Structure 1
Amino acid sequence: MATKALFNTLVNWFIRQRIDQIEHFIKYPVETQEGLLFSQLFHAEETEYGQKYGFSAISNYRDFQKKVPIVCYEDFEPYIEKARQGCKDVFWPGLIKQFAKSSGTTNAKSKFIPISAESLEDCHYKAGKDMVSIYVNNHPESELFQHKNLRLGGSAEMYQDFNTKFGDLSAILIENLPFWVEIINTPNKKISLMSEWESKMRAIISEVRHDDVGSLTGVPSWMMVLLQRTLQETGRSNIAELWPNLEVFFHGGISFKPYKNQYKELIGKEIRYYEIYNASEGFFGIQDQSGSDEMLLMLDYGIFYEFIPMDKFFSGVQEAIPISEVELDKNYAVVITTNGGLWRYLVGDTVKFTSINPFRIKITGRTKHYINAFGEELMIDNVETALKQTCEKLNANISDYTGAPVFMTSDKKGCHEWIFEFTRKPANIEEFTDIFDTALKCLNSDYEAKRYNDITLRRPVVHVAKPNLFYEWMASRGKLGGQNKVPRLSNDRQYIDPLLELNRP
């Protein structure tokens, strides 16, 4: 009892200290960000990248904006490749020893994101501790530390290449975790680091079915697959029967909207859901209010944020603004400068601010995952909200989906084409299509204008996917696992055409 009391005292002290620090950057957001930027410019001024762009001569944000270019991965790749081959002081002081391999959802080719010692400790691990600190501060009655956390990462095989290592971010994080963190996580490190998905699933279920799980951490779609299979293996009717002490699911990677009702049924009791915004490039946001769908932008993780208004982005203008100039309810592409050595890097996500005191955000989509073939500027956030409304009206559930344009021809107008995999199908797919279409019109005025009297866009085309279609498709692409995501929207037909072909009887 004395040991437990001491542990709780230490945890509570740490949480209070960290909450005070979070409240400080909430109170002084612009000063926090500016201080961070100039600290990093000073830190990296003798690197190859720092000398090329004159970091030592940058004295204010406007200098930084003028001197340092906004880059995507392809622009920055030559520097990353040089660092991967063991060169020091390329874009961050010293040798970068680890790189997170990620295909993401932007390109099919692999990306190698630098993970410095600073980004590992001061961003990724710090965020993991903050996630728990914020939750426990909101819910002091929580028994989180008395039970196991079920984590579900992606493929965790590590590779040695040149003088550096690369692998999934989850592998890097797990390999470097202190031993005391492993005590509260399940499955164990050996199982978590397994790379073959089906074998890994069987091993996870074999271990976790006997554990006392109090929390879940992972991507909603893949966690759902694991939980469903666990119920099948154990013969339980819901997760609460297996893990009665389960109290929270920390989720990220994709929108939770399509899955919320399914999780309520699957778990069988009310638990809390906390969203996190993490990527290989950094950890950006944490839900700081229970029951909210907004995330606090974390401003002291060694990441300096800039934002490109999406109306400019669509027109090809890449002019970024600092956090002090953002507006509410406007879509922005996210640009980051990090303590991993990424400088004005276009991360590929879009967000909108729901609050500026403090700065809270929602993820609205991807800069390359939208439909704008007809000027409708349809983002994932519009679609997820419309689908949630539609499914609630028709008592339907969707597990996966994707959408793309059908381009105009000389004798036919264009439209949007969708393929949905349902866990509970609507009684009438035509009614589903009409309600979904109407919801999109209400949420997106550009879409509504293009759909007016079918002048530009005709009624959407909707297909029902056969069971497990998306799982089979992801498997065929070697994309099974917690860090791989189904592309929801595309401005071309690179995803939907193979899915439609695979869906043929």
Structure 2
Amino acid sequence: MSLKALAARIFAATVHYRSRRWVRNPQAAQLKVFRELLRQGRATQFGKDHDFGDINTYEDFASRVPIRDYEELKPWVLPALEGKEDILWPGRPLYFAKTSGTTSGAKYIPITRPSIREQVRASRNAILSYIHRTGRAAFVDGKMIFLQGSPELQEKNGIKVGRLSGISAHFVPGYLQKNRLPSWETNCIEDWETKVDRIVDETVEEDMTVIAGIPSWVQMYFEKLRERTGKDVGELFPNLELFIYGGVNFEPYRGRFEHLLGRRVASIELFPASEGFFAYQDTDGGKGLLLLLDAGIFYEFVRADEFFEPGARRLTIGEVETGVNYAMVISTNAGLWGYNLGDTVQFISLDPYRVIVSGRIKHFISAFGEHVIAKEVEYAMEEALEGSGARVAEFTVAPVIETGGEELPYHEWLVEFEAEPEDMPAFIARLDASLQRQNSYYYDLIAGNILQPLKITRIRAGGFREYMKSVGKLGGQNKVQRLANDRKVADALYPFRK
């Protein structure tokens, strides 16, 4: 074992035992974060506008600080973006992470020195957790690739602005710099297809041990490697041990990944966003990510089925239940207060607190009252794929309300198969049956002849990639929307049908 690997194992054990303190005392950890956030926010413009000086309890906070999304927080974000100090957090933000907005173009999410420090710490600890529980550390001596956005940043009123992944590239620890790929010059290439080709050039002869990125774009990299060499990726990189990902459920992609790799590799799931780093996988046995309760973020949860109702109840970590779909609300050391992240989660464990990401609060299908969520369609696909001989590159789901005749409405699944099922009708039946088992409302609509079973529209090979390119979202942190209550994505995909 190398000295570097030995040091990694010792450090991993140290971090693990430190984390046990807050894992064993989760509510105390959150109370400590809550008090520190209020202390820091008291002298800010937001704190003055919301009487932070008079807040002594969580109930005081909830009564003074309403839940807001980005649009509602903009009256404070914009002055901070103009370079004014002490607006949302003491001083000025260190960065603004630029993300794609849904209603007003780009969103600018503030990142402060303490918040980026927690982002980096959580990323590091996710890997250290893997090392501690497996004892495997040899991979730290190999090459690591992080498929991410350009690290070149713009400047706005004296504050650096860029994609989160590009900002994070400036904080790679020194001990990893020699292991890290691609080169800075390649990472700065904006055109994604050109960038991936160059990454293949730089990595094809290297001893790659860790690969990180959003599954769909890592899959594109794997495909280009295989086209170039004619070899399985696992054969090309015999010491490849870890795939690190976040942002989407990996299971629908797993079959295609293992086909390209020629074998299975260990994986670590993360739950990061521009707004903060919330959770990471801390076990190998089951699903669920450890919610980070000591990392400068105070959490609130609102039942998703009540979220849009006036006076919906806000819950703290001590009040949540397993198996309930919650909208996640955060207050952070970047100056986001009562912020609706837009993601929904379900707790699968309360000791410790582990979550799965179940979807987006605005991404669901309920054209007929069924309220189908991303978690349900992804699990249905996972069940249908098992033993079917099929592999899926990508898919999305939308309702068909007007059928133009006597035909009943239905859910349309637009699927790009890498390998089609041996028995397509049986595959569709399993897919629909799984969704009915998970969602009683959907079952009732099928049983009551309000809806007919789902239908699949096949998208040609590379069709989703062409679609993403056509809407300017190829590569980086961009993801295909898994489902929608309208047909914007579905109709835009129709030119790419098989």
Instruction: State TM-score, norm by structure 1.
Output: 0.94
Structure-2 change in CA distance of 1:368 and 1:282 (3 Å): same
CA distance in 1, matches of 2:352, 2:210: 27
Change (3 A) 1:323 1:199: same
Q: Counterparts in 2 of 1:211-230, with a 5 A limit? A: 211-230=206-225
- Which residue number in structure 2 is paired with residue 63 of structure 1? 60
- On the 8 A contact 2:364/2:372 being kept in 1, the answer is yes
2-side partners of 1:169 and 1:273: how far apart?
A: 22
Of stretches 166-175 and 409-418 in structure 1, the one that deviates more from structure 2 is 409-418
- Give the distance between the partners of 1:442 and 1:309, measured in 2 at CA: 21
388-397 vs 41-50, which moves further: 388-397
Q: Which amino acid aligns with 2:425?
A: E
* Counterpart Cα distance in 2 of 1:224 and 1:45: 46
* Paired residues of 2:209 and 2:237 also in contact (CA < 8 A): yes
Matches within 5 A, 1:69-468: 69-103=66-100, 106-107=102-103, 109-121=105-117, 123-236=118-231, 238-313=232-307, 315=309, 318-407=312-401, 413-454=408-449, 456-468=450-462
Partner of residue 12, structure 2: 15
> What is the rounded CA distance, in whole Å, between the counterparts of 1:32 and 1:305 in structure 2?
11
Q: Which amino acid aligns with 1:267?
A: L
Matching of residue 27 in structure 1 with residue 21 in structure 2: no
Gapped regions of structure 1 (runs ≥ 5): none
In 2, the alpha carbon distance for the partners of 1:480 and 1:13 equals 40
Give the aligned residue type for 1:465. Answer: I
Q: Which amino acid aligns with 2:496?
A: N
Q: CA deviation at 1:165?
A: 1.9
* C-alpha separation in 1, matches of 2:134 and 2:171: 29
CA distance in 2, matches of 1:329, 1:62: 25
* Segment of structure 1 superposing worse, 389-398 or 110-119: 389-398
- Does the 8 A contact of 1:33 with 1:304 survive in 2? yes
Q: Using the alignment, how far apart are the partners of 1:108 and 1:148 within structure 2?
A: 40
Secondary structure of the 2:465 match is helix
Structure 2 vs 1, CA of residues 303 and 417 (structure 1 numbering), >3 Å: closer, same or farther?
Answer: same
**TM-score using structure 2 length:** 0.96
SS at 1:398's partner residue?
Answer: strand
5+ residue gaps, structure 2, are: none
> 1:259 Cα shift?
1.1
State the AA in 1 paired with 2:201: S
Q: Match of 1:394, SS?
A: coil
Moved more, 226-235 or 180-189: 180-189
Query: Structure 2: how far apart are the matches of 1:280 and 1:126?
Result: 15
Contact 2:151 2:170 in 1 (8 A): no
CA contact (8 A) 2:459 2:497 kept: no
**1:335-389 Cα distance to aligned partner (Å, 9 max, x none):** 0111111011111111100000000111111111111111111011111111111
The Cα of 1:458 is off from its aligned counterpart by 2.0
- How far is 1:316 from its partner? 5.7
Structure 1 SS opposite 2:372: coil
Deviates more, 1:207-216 or 1:456-465: 456-465
Cα distance between partner residues in 1 of 2:311 and 2:382: 33
C-alpha contact (below 8 Å) 2:115/2:296 kept by paired residues: yes
- Higher mean displacement: 225-234 or 29-38: 225-234
Contact 1:157/1:195 (8 A) holds in 2:
no
Distance 2:150 2:445 in 1: 42
Deviation at 1:9, TM superposition (A): 5.1
Offset of residue 464 of structure 1: 0.5
Is the 1:182–1:188 contact (alpha carbons within 8 Å) kept by the matching residues of 2? no
Instruction: Return the alpha-carbon distance in structure 2 between the equivalents of residues 230 and 108 of structure 1.
Output: 38
- How far, CA to CA, are the matches of 2:103 and 2:393 in structure 1? 23
Note closer, same or farther for the CA distance 1:141–1:459 as it changes in structure 2 (3 Å cut).
closer
In 1, Cα distance between the equivalents of 2:371 and 2:310? 14
Query: Structure 1: which amino acid aligns with 2:188?
Result: L
Displacement after TM superposition at 1:45 (Å): 0.5
1:375 alignment partner, SS class: coil
CA RMSD of aligned residues (A): 1.8
Distance 2:179 2:119 in 1: 18
Aligned length: 497
| Deviation, structure 1 residue 13 | 3.7
Query: Residue 308 and residue 503 in structure 1: after superposition, are their counterparts in 2 closer, same or farther (change >3 A)?
Result: same
Distance 1:229 1:222, change over 3 A: same
* Residues 272 and 291, structure 1, Cα contact 8 Å, conserved in 2: no
Give, in whole Å, the separation in 2 of the partners of 1:112 and 1:434.
Answer: 44
Task: Give the letter aligned to residue 109 of structure 1.
Answer: G
Q: Which amino acid aligns with 2:125?
A: D
Distance in 2 separating the partners of 1:311 and 1:436:
24
The Cα of 1:503 is off from its aligned counterpart by: 2.5
2: CA distance, partners of 1:215 / 1:316: 47
**Superimposed CA distance per residue, residues 435-483 of structure 1 (whole angstroms, 9 cap, x where no aligned partner):** 21111101111111111141x2222232011111110110011101130
Between the aligned partners of 1:316 and 1:477, the Cα distance in structure 2 is: 35
